[in-house]
Amino acid sequence: MVTAGQRRLMAVHAHPDDESSKGAATTARYAAEGAEVLVVSCTGGERGDLLNPHYPPVDPGLEVMREVRRHEMAAAAAALGVSHHWLGFVDSGLPEGDPLPPLPDGCFAAQPLEVAAAPLVALVRRFRPHVLTTYDPSGGYPHPDHIMCHRVAFEAFHAAGDPERYRDQGDPWQPLKLYYNHGFSMVRMRAVHEAMLERGLESPFGDWIESRAARDMPERETTTSIRCAEFFPQRDDALRAHATQIDPGGFFFAVPRDLEAQTWPTEEYELAESRVPTTLPEDDLFAGIDTDEVP
């Protein structure tokens, strides 16, 4: 049910757990403020490895892991206070080796673009978001599902409002703004890294910041910073909900939360496209949108 005047945000992610490590405090903040927030998982995360060394063994098979991750995702969505939708595709897995092996048959990243985008177009037309967030064209890192997630979300943003495209997927609806998540920007990591060293603590970012790969990595433009430190606890609860993927004593929890809130109390985005006038930099994903005037 779409309510007139209510702000609506759709966050499109590749796998369950991505929504908790990228923009989670932002979605929790907007949901707490009364916006309708829908997180979309393109795949079920079935081919995700068991990354938490403290988690008990999981029986092999895609169906088993799919069911485990469905329960984890439900708990994470509850922690953030958001709604959730499975797009229904199968995790492609992260190919390893040289040369890389072919993608598994039928997986998300192997789908034709219009086949993969059609259910998201239908969902956009049904939910009618004003703002859509996803990954930049690199996917944030070179996982085939993250790159495909960008392609699918980009396609849906541009096609959902066109009555001549995806004609069997519902009535047209044009989202007004498209953003890319900047969850692991080097500027943020350096700031937190230096703050930890000043406190005499070991930084989890040290080896990466000093690496040549990090020095050579181009930094994408940040246009929009959302203050959301008071929702870091909800983000952390959502991360812990993904117990197969997140070690409570690991990387994501290595930075003291008081230091993080003091040093970097925001989450960052790149405004990729806007159909409304706005002034950069922004501190609100809905800047320039008057939901009472949107037909």
Q: How far apart are CA 263 and CA 276, in angstroms?
A: 32
The total of other beta-carbon atoms located within 10 Å of residue 200's CB is 6
Residue 215 confidence (pLDDT): 60
Q: φ, ψ for residue 179 (rounded to 5)?
A: -125, 150
197 pLDDT above the threshold of 90:
yes
Find all residues with CB under 8 Å of 222, minimum gap 6, and list them: 182, 185, 187, 268, 269, 270, 281
Q: How confident is the model at residue 100 (pLDDT cuts 50, 70, 90)?
A: confident
Residue 2 confidence (pLDDT): 45
- Residue-wise over 84-109: b if at least 16 C-beta within 10 A, else e? bbebebbbbbeeeeeeeeebbeebbb
246 pLDDT above the threshold of 60:
yes
Residue 21 carries which side chain, given as an amino acid letter?
Answer: S
Q: Read off the pLDDT of residues 140-165 as tens digits, 9 standing for 90 and up.
A: 888 999 999 999 999 999 999 999 99
129 pLDDT above the threshold of 80:
yes
Which domains are delineated in the chain? 8-183+266-274 (3.40.50.10320), 188-219 (no CATH)
